Structures are given as structure tokens and as C-alpha cells.
Structure 1
């Protein structure tokens, strides 16, 4: 697709990469070309379309109205062109090529890294690029949607495709050191007396919903003055240092990392509301054999975790 014979398509690919990188220099570095070459390509597109696509300043770039339209359409057109090449070059539907999987940081470090490596070992002609992301943004324009996203929380955009996976069980965790110093909560109401970190992430909120048999309990505004973060691992590391209580998962607690930290589950007789989990991607008319195989593989690994 980057061949000189496909200069028009290549120029649009450079435009897309520039928009996603946020600056001409960042895009040039990613593509291993000069910033001057990127600028020349963008100018060529603007001359060809007779309109301004980007506003450039010392802080980076910003799409014009025409640029936003061009970006969205270019994503669609280059995607279709990629599908065409896949059909022509891979008529036997072999599983090969490159695909990106975007997951939360903690999942990237403890599960998805092994999943991706295992898949590549099974299919030597493939390359999986694993990206850690914590952003809650998930619009039609998110570049990651060209590949595959594993995320918590119900997707709200009707223009994307998603597959619901088994929900995530969560528990409250702390170190024995913290419990010895601050006491052990026995009832959800006791959490008001503790430093409970707030995870600001898809599917998680400031309200924790507990159930014990027929009894249910909701605790609002926990940790008003405690640290909140959209990065789960940052809160877990503070928890390991004995600084407070945070959320964990039964599966993650089985990891070597968690066992070495000697974390314990609090109030095990109380069950917390599960967090919904989804695989998300952009709708396409044709999906490559690699995409289909990897999507189904990730679903299987999630179920087996």
C-alpha cells in the first residue's frame, strides 16, 4: 500500500497517521520519514482537494471541518482498500498479518501479554501489537477501533460493533499490614472509616453495590478524600504499600505478583456487583481471517482465564 504506484492512497495513510499522532514530527518519527516529507504530503492533499485539512501551530495540529470529514472518509476508504488487498493477496484465507489489541494496563501486564504471545506462536505469520489504554473515550473516530479493544463498561456508541463477554468478578483487597493498623471492615458500612481508592474506569463508579444472600447494600461516595485514578495498577501498588483498600479480581489475586504482595480479600461473604466486559471494533464489510481468528481466540481466553 506504501508503493510509489499507490501514491494517492499512501498520502491518505500519511494524513491518517498524522491526525492520530497529533503532530507532524510525531507522525514522521512513527513512519521513519522527515517532518518536511509529512508536511509536503499534507500540502499536496490540500492542493488536490482545494481545501485546508489541518491547522498547524507550535502546539501541534487541529483538524478543520473539512479535515474531520476527510479523516473519517479516508479511514473508511483505506480500510476497504486494505480489504481488497487482503482478498487478492490471500485468496486461501490464511491467518497472517498484523493486528493491534488494546486493553487496560493491568490486563496488558498480567494476561493479554501471554495471550498475544501464545497466538503468535500458534500462527507464525502473524504479529500482534499489544497496546495498554485507560481512556474511556470510545467514539467512531478512535483509531484503535480499526483493530480490537477489550474493555469494561457498556459501549454507548451505536455505530460500533461489540460482543459481550462474561462479566468480571471484583473484590475488595488490602494488605495484612493495613488491616492490622486500621482494623478489618466487616460490613460495607464500615468502609466509610477506611481509605478506599476510587477506580475511575469504564464500568466502575463511586457507588459499590454489595449483596449477601437476600440482603443488599449500596455505599455511595466512598473515599471522597481518597485518591482516584483511571489506572488500576497505580491504585493496586498503593494498596500493596499498605496505604488503603482497592478493587481487585479473584483471577488476578492468583498471580505471582499478587501472592508476593500477600494481599487478602475483605468481606468475602459480601458479593460485589459484576462489571460488564466487551470486545469492541469498527464495523467492516469484510474481516480478515486474522481478525476473525484472533477475536474468537481472545473471547476464548477471557472465558478460560
Structure 2
């Protein structure tokens, strides 16, 4: 028995004062409506309506049921109306999770413009370099950078691609020498990204095909911004995503090592928990994020 439908039917019977008129309004037969009310009464263990050939009246239990369920039905109707009215409106509380480096270098610079465009929005931005349970954390969207997303109940939408390249400081290369082939990397001090798939194995591709380097980085860090700063300070060679390397490369603080060689390019995914589509606040956030990635 669909309790909500039965509540609506009972309410219509009481307000119309007739099974026949209520059945006509609901588009069902009076006999079906009578059976549903009988099942409802049996489930409650009491009589809600007394009926004669001439009249129908509520019992005390029926009056209580009518009063209480009318409030429930009005509340449901109000919630549905508010949701329908809110579709397409960017408001409410948006909770976003992403990695520290991506959050600081890509998301943070776009936030002033995003918040200015949507002044009614509340925002919580969580930065975490480890993958969190977004459902348990109550996040609307999580930005994850991975070669691929595993099958799960979550919904992943690709919003960009990351270039992963090798960098070092000019001073380090002047002192240690610049590698000329992938094999030359083995002679250098490697700074590894602790959370990367390529911590101890670099699968490079370049003009001469592919090369795989098995490495044992003496320094391993779990944040690519820390890795960047160690490279700038001349502590070795390491890999960086383009959103982290762009500024220090542009200013000359870092230079490409083996510029014709790269690691596989991971994808940027926007992960949501619902398969029913994104609401307006998530859509607006991702539109701003895509624009930031293009620029």
C-alpha cells in the first residue's frame, strides 16, 4: 500500500464528502477507493469512516488521521514547490572537496569571481590530498585527478586533462648536469610525489617511443606544492602537473628536463554522488572551473 497515495485519497474523500466524487477527481473507480480505505483501516486496526446509504462521517480516529495527514501532505507539497522553484537558481550551501595543490592554484583564484556572481550562495571548500568519502563528508562535488575513475556508485564527469612533466631548478642542473636521455635520470636526486601512481616508476613517452624508469626517490612528499618548492630550492628533479609548474616555469625558477618527454596525462574529474544530474550550484561551480582551466 502506497501510504502517501492513500493519505491523499482519504483526504479527498473527506473534503468531497463522497467516495464517488473523490474517485472521479482521482480518476479511479469508487470500488478501488473503497478497497484502499478498507485496507488502511485494517492496517490501523480501527474505523476511520462510518458510512450509510445516505451519509458518511468521520470517527474520532478518522478526524485525528485527517488532521495529522493533512499537515503531512501540505508539508510534502510545500517542499516539492520549493524545490521546483529553486531549480536553476544558484543558492544554498555548496560543499566542494579537492586536493590542496589544485585547490590553491586553480580553485582559489576563481573563487572571488564565482562568489561575486552568486552572492546568495554559501560555500565550504575542503582541501585534502587523500581521497575522502564524499558521501560521508556531505560533499556536493569532489575534484579528483586520476588516470581513470574506477566503477562505483559515484558519477565522474571529465572536465579537463593535466600535463605531467619533469622539472628542476636551473641552479641544480648547472651543478649536476642536465639529463640528455631518460636513462640519465637515474643518476640524479629524485623528489617523489608520495600519493602519485608514478612514485617509484616513471613511464615516459617521447619522440623515441617509451621508456620506463624504476626509481627509489630519497625524498618523498605528499603535497605537490611542497615538491615544487623543493625543486625551486635546487634539491633535485621531480614531476609536476601543469597547474603547479606553470608559474615557476614562466618566471624561470624551474625549467623542463627532457622537454620532449612526458608522463601519461591524468584526467580531471568532477565527481558527484547522484545519477539524477547536477543541481544549479554545482553546474555553476563547474562552469567557472572549466573557464579557469581554459585560461
Smaller-chain TM-score range?
0.5 to 0.7
Q: 1:96 to 1:156 in 2, by over 3 A?
A: same
Match of 1:238 in 2: 230
Match of 1:210 in 2: 204
Question: For residues 128 and 107 of structure 1, what CA distance do their matches in structure 2 show?
Answer: 17
Question: For residues 294 and 211 of structure 1, what CA distance do their matches in structure 2 show?
Answer: 34
CA positional deviation for 1:270:
1.7
CA positional deviation for 1:163:
0.6
CA positional deviation for 1:156:
2.4
Question: For residues 80 and 164 of structure 2, what CA distance do their matches in structure 1 show?
Answer: 41
Alignment RMSD: 2.7
Question: Is there any run of 5+ residues in structure 2 with no aligned partner, and where?
Answer: 1-74
Do the aligned partners of 1:140 and 1:159 also contact (CA within 8 Å) in 2?
no
User: 1:247 aligned to 233, 236, 239, which one?
Assistant: 239
Question: Is there any run of 5+ residues in structure 1 with no aligned partner, and where?
Answer: 1-80
Do the aligned partners of 2:192 and 2:238 also contact (CA within 8 Å) in 1?
yes
User: 1:152 aligned to 132, 142, 145, which one?
Assistant: 145
Question: For residues 127 and 140 of structure 1, what CA distance do their matches in structure 2 show?
Answer: 18
Match of 1:163 in 2: 157
CA positional deviation for 1:176:
1.0
CA positional deviation for 1:226:
1.4
Question: For residues 85 and 202 of structure 2, what CA distance do their matches in structure 1 show?
Answer: 51
SS of corresponding position for 1:299: helix
Match of 1:280 in 2: 271
Match of 1:105 in 2: 100
Question: For residues 277 and 131 of structure 2, what CA distance do their matches in structure 1 show?
Answer: 27
Task: Provide the TM-score with structure 2 as the length reference.
Answer: 0.65
How many residue pairs align between the two structures?
217
CA positional deviation for 1:230:
2.1
Question: For residues 79 and 173 of structure 2, what CA distance do their matches in structure 1 show?
Answer: 59
- The alignment status of 1:132 with 2:123, answered yes or no, reads no
Do the aligned partners of 1:116 and 1:128 also contact (CA within 8 Å) in 2?
no
